[in-house]
Structure 1
Amino acid sequence: MDMAVIELSRLQFALTALYHFLFVPLTLGLSFMLVIMESIYVMTGRPIWRTVTRFWSKLFGINFVLGVATGLTMEFEFGTNWSYFSHYVGDIFGAPLAIEGLMAFFLEATFVGLMFFGWDKLSKRQHLFTTFMVALGSNLSALWILVANGWMQHPVGSRFNPDTMRMEVTDFMAVLFNPVAQAKFVHTVSAGYVTASVFILGVSSWYLLKGKWVAVAKRSFTVAAAFGLASSLSVVVLGDESGYALTDNQKMKLASLEAMWHTEPAPAGIAIFGIPSLEGRDTRYEIKIPYVLGLISTRSLTGQVEGITELVAKAQGRIENGIQAYDAVEKLKANPTDMVAREQFERHKLDLGYAMLLKRYVADPRKATPDQVVQAAWSTVPNVPVMFWVFRVMAGLGFFFIGFFVLAFYFSTVRRFDARWFLRAAVWIIPLPWLAAEFGWVLAEIGRQPWAIEGVLPTFLGASSLTVGQLWTTIIGFTLLYGALAVIEVRLMLATIRKGPLEHGDEPSDAAASGQGYAPLPAE
């Protein structure tokens, strides 16, 4: 396989995935914040909370539509750009995607329509129920996507069948309750809640700075501050849980994001600064905090975090075992009744994927030289400098948001909505949670390389037989299309924000009924 085709296929999928994920976190967070706001309206009966809910639901709707549209493209890419991947693991990978599709199109789509058009046709409690179902459906959709992705990171509940030459499900419950998938789900949705909280807080702060829609802005600010504080704390706690999951299931990813080239005496320290080098296979100018990594990743003072060099040595042993599994598979293809070959396969089947790494260097892994085995073993190390710095930016932003929401919660509690320095800062940091979320996905996916399915299928074997020209055409096409959609999204969001909570169809009596003056000032 031409490596240019592989890298361009990866680039195309990365571009579409990262673009799609611009919409997902805001959808996840806004959906549940709408539930909170509408619940307050139902409990208090104050019309201003109806206005608050309807305003943010408009922004939710714009974001939701584009999120669904860009997500569909990604699902088709598995068939167009990653056809062997789809053939090899489709029996397992396709199931959660199919469930997610049903969830999105039947549950979410139905209740989204009722949520937007049912305000005057449903009772308060009935409408609140539809809003809750939209939030539930959105978050369950994320669950099924992350079950699929979690299986790619940690392929449990499945086995390779030498008779069909494909991976097959052996325990769907193990796939569903995969510890990596569960850790990714709770961490990802919490990050979405932080994104929505920052967004609402930033827009509300802009209103407060301009002196517009003050009553709506103050209430939105208060909800976002409380929800954001809880969410930012949970992101850090659940991120710690994700690190613990890596210790057992993705040791190379953990070692790489810490640039830990050699196993250290337990408990290992965590590096807060360093300059990793792939050529020298070391980390210069390293500054470490003792014990912290060991405590996070093993929950003990005695647990050991293995280094990259030691993990590469283990990978080399697995490649050598995998060659035996590959040899057995070739014999079974020629004679399915060969019991000696079948017994040989059963002994080494868990390492078959490691033998497939050799196909990048030699057509038949059984003919690989010792140097090629070593080369394949080192190919299991992802891009350490990228992993190291992406993780630190993401983690740093996570702790920053905790401090930010502590201040926001304090100001909302003491009813101080006039701290202009904080309001300006809240507007400027609106993009930061998206940066953290995108970096999280970069960390997850680069950290899995060279695997499409960890330990099972190398990425370079999963791609379709496309040409470089075809891939560049689609990359340019997607870039232009998605660029246009991005402009439309931003313009619609900004226009809705500038227009404010009230429209021609809204009842002006809401303002009077609430007892709060929230009519807009003249446009500047």
Structure 2
Amino acid sequence: MITESLVNVSRLQFAVTALFHFLFIPLTLGMTWLLVIMESVYVITGKEIWKDMTRFWGKLFGINFALGVTTGITMEFQFGTNWAYYSHYVGDVFGAPLAIEGLMAFFLESTMVGLFFFGWERMSRVQHLITTILMALGTNLSALWILIANGWMQNPVGAEFNYQTMRMEMTSFTEILLNPDAQNKFVHTVSAGYTVGAMFVLSVSAWYLLKGRDVAFAKRSFHVAAAFGFASICSTIVLGDESGYSIGLAQQTKLATMEAMWETEPAPASFNLVALINEKEEKNDWAIHIPYAMGIIGTRSLDKEILGIHDIKEINEERIVSGIFAVSALDEMRASMADGKAVNPETLAQFEHHKNDLGFGLLLKKYTHDVIQATPDMVKSATNDTIPRVTPMFWTFRIMVGLGFLMLVLFSLSLFFTIKGNFMDKKWLLKFAVIMLPAPWIAAEAGWFVAEYGRQPWTVYGVLPTHLSVSNIAISNMIWSLIGFVVFYTILFIIEIYLMQKYVRLGPASLGTGRYFGEKSDKNIINPNEFKGV
């Protein structure tokens, strides 16, 4: 029997595995293009230091990539084991981009990763550079198809419910591919990944410079990271704003909860910078507003309203009532088909009239098996379910945005002083870079939480409620598997931190060239003044 506890544990398990997995993915996305930049300079100039930079940062990329793949494999299996009805209901749509990701992107990515590491002495410079470019392309294509699948869950276009098969079926692959939510999510997510990669290289390079070791190597790495990071964080912020606009069009509930907007304000709405949220009374006890800001972000206009939570709940309640007729008609049609009888045309007409609200009617299945018998209290409870908790959405979003602007300050200053040529004299800047190392990961995890928690109570927004998506399995099995995942993934995370720290401390000396700090052949250590310009 599917209980609320089973649903919550199933959600928790997927959240844990997804958040663990997403610790590794952004760095993988960001590091690939940094490697392309470094190796391109090597191919153009022939300077060995750029080859060493590519190989060293590539070594750290490889450690992260291996653990990212390990943590990602289990997630796809969960769709079949823990979310069986979800897989049945939307597999015709959701499965297509995931299959393409495996065939087109992951095989390309994994093949090129192998050639990247083992092809240095077997290929020419240009051939190896092409391999690195294809590796980066495969990594980004993998993110594209996964985020197309996820974007469809946020905004289910290009598909329609078939009452004969009881499934969502694809009607337009083009619409799914060009889904605005998917495209905005992709460019925003990969830009965030580029920021993570840039911050990692910037912070580690700053640490080397503070220690006064491998200066020529760290100086060039800092140069690349500062420029790439500035472009990446600007892109992340701009595209995040575009994502906010698309959310306002497709998921007004998410936008209202992110802003703790209980009442519909006259256009253009203000932005709640901070607020003391009172969820029990559904209001903010106090807030600091930025006039007009939310209206411009959410509607790109000065005259369009953004609905508040109270008005959204009224609309959702109407849709739940309409959905009762859709579910009732669907049950009657299924009974007729099971008995080998023709579907009553009047019943079919009723279903067609209300089918856009079918998902809202299914929300009542949490409270009663026969939704036609739903009481006003059940309807009210289902209506309340359509609004995720406001407090975690509000503050998690602000953590993400606050860290984003703090990173913009860091990368702007780093690029400015790099252009001036005196960044090595700014010890405070280097220390700032080291301290900021965890910031992009925290921001990325916060952004993922906002995107996924803000979709609740749906697995597919407005179509399939989460409580109907889970597999009917023993909750004890879920608890033990959750414990197993937490233990196993924690071990993997410790291994990642140990290996990354080990090779960061070794630095480019881990390449064994005899040219870097800490190696036996100290006479070959690179002189910081040896390389001028590039």
Q: Counterpart of 1:229 in 2: which secondary structure?
A: helix
Number of residue pairs matched by the alignment: 517
In the superposition, the TM-score normalised over structure 1's length comes to 0.96
Moved more, 102-111 or 47-56: 102-111
Q: How does 1:469-480 map to 2 (within 5 A)?
A: 469-480=476-487
Is the 1:38–1:49 contact (alpha carbons within 8 Å) kept by the matching residues of 2?
Answer: yes
What is the CA–CA distance in structure 1 between the aligned matches of 2:297 and 2:363, rounded to whole Å? Answer: 31
Equivalent residue, structure 2, for 1:166: 167
AA aligned opposite 1:316? E
Kept in 2: contact 1:264–1:305 (CA 8 A): yes
- Counterpart in the other structure of 1:387: 393
Distance in 1, matches of 2:183 and 2:323, equals 29
Deviations 1:286-335 (A, max 9, x none): 11011000011111110110011111111111111111111111121122
Q: 1:433 aligns with which of 426, 440, 449?
A: 440
Q: Superposed, which structure 2 residues align to 1:370-519 within 5 Å?
A: 370-416=376-422, 417-503=424-510, 505-506=512-513, 508=515, 516-517=526-527
1:430 alignment partner AA: L
Instruction: Please state how far the C-alpha of 1:345 moved relative to its aligned partner.
Output: 1.3
Residue aligning to 1:75:
76
Distance 1:507 1:423 in 2: 27
How many Å separate the matches in 1 of 2:455 and 2:420? 46
Q: Kindly state the Cα deviation for residue 411 of structure 1 after the two structures are TM-superposed.
A: 2.0
Between the aligned partners of 2:128 and 2:38, the Cα distance in structure 1 is: 12
Which shows bigger deviation, 421-430 or 200-209?
421-430
Corresponding position of 1:359: 365
Give the Å deviation of 1:504: 5.9
User: Which SS does the other structure have where 2:508 is aligned?
Assistant: coil
Match of 1:223 in 2: 224
RMSD: 1.7
| C-alpha deviation, 1:460, in angstroms | 0.7
1:483 shift after superposition: 1.0
Q: Secondary structure at the match of 1:22?
A: helix
Q: Percent identity?
A: 54
Distance 2:39 2:354 in 1: 57
Equivalent pair of 2:38/2:54 in contact (CA under 8 Å): yes
| Equivalence for 1:30 | 31
Q: How does 1:313-392 map to 2 (within 5 A)?
A: 313-336=314-337, 337=342, 338-392=344-398
Structure-1 residue corresponding to 2:209: 208
In structure 2, the partner of 1:112 is 113
Alpha-carbon distance in structure 2 between the residues aligned to 1:478 and 1:463: 18
* Contact 1:358–1:372, Cα closer than 8 Å, also in 2: yes
1:87 and 2:93 correspond: no
Cα deviation per residue 1:420-478 (whole Å; 9 max; x = unaligned)?
A: 22212211211111000000011011100011110011101101112221111111111
Shift in Å at residue 149 of structure 1? 0.7
User: Contact 1:328–1:345 (CA<8 Å) still a contact in 2?
Assistant: yes
Q: Which amino acid aligns with 1:351?
A: D
**What TM-score, normalized by structure 2, do the two folds share?**
0.94
The answer on whether the counterparts of 1:229 and 1:405 sit within 8 Å (CA) in structure 2 is: yes
CA distance in 2, matches of 1:318, 1:503: 62
Structure 1: gaps (5+ residues): 520-524
**8 Å contact 2:503–2:510 — kept in the other structure?**
no
Deviation track 1:232-254 (CA, whole Å, cap 9, x = no partner) reads 11111001100100111000000
Contact 1:263 1:306 in 2 (8 A): yes
Kept in 2, the 8 Å contact 1:51–1:502? The answer is: no
Q: Distance in 1 between matches of 2:414 and 2:298?
A: 32
1:214-248 per-residue CA deviation (whole Å, 9 max, x = no partner) reads 11100000000001011111111001100100111
Q: Secondary structure at the match of 2:12?
A: helix
Structure 2: gaps of 5 or more residues = 530-534
Cα 1:158–1:490 shift into 2, 3 Å: same
Cα drift, residue 213 of structure 1: 1.0
Output the amino acid matched with 2:421: R
How far apart, CA to CA, are the structure 1 residues paired with 2:277 and 2:124?
A: 60
Residue of structure 2 equivalent to 1:49 = 50
Structure 1 residue aligned with 2:8: 7
Counterpart of 1:439 in structure 2: which amino acid?
A: A
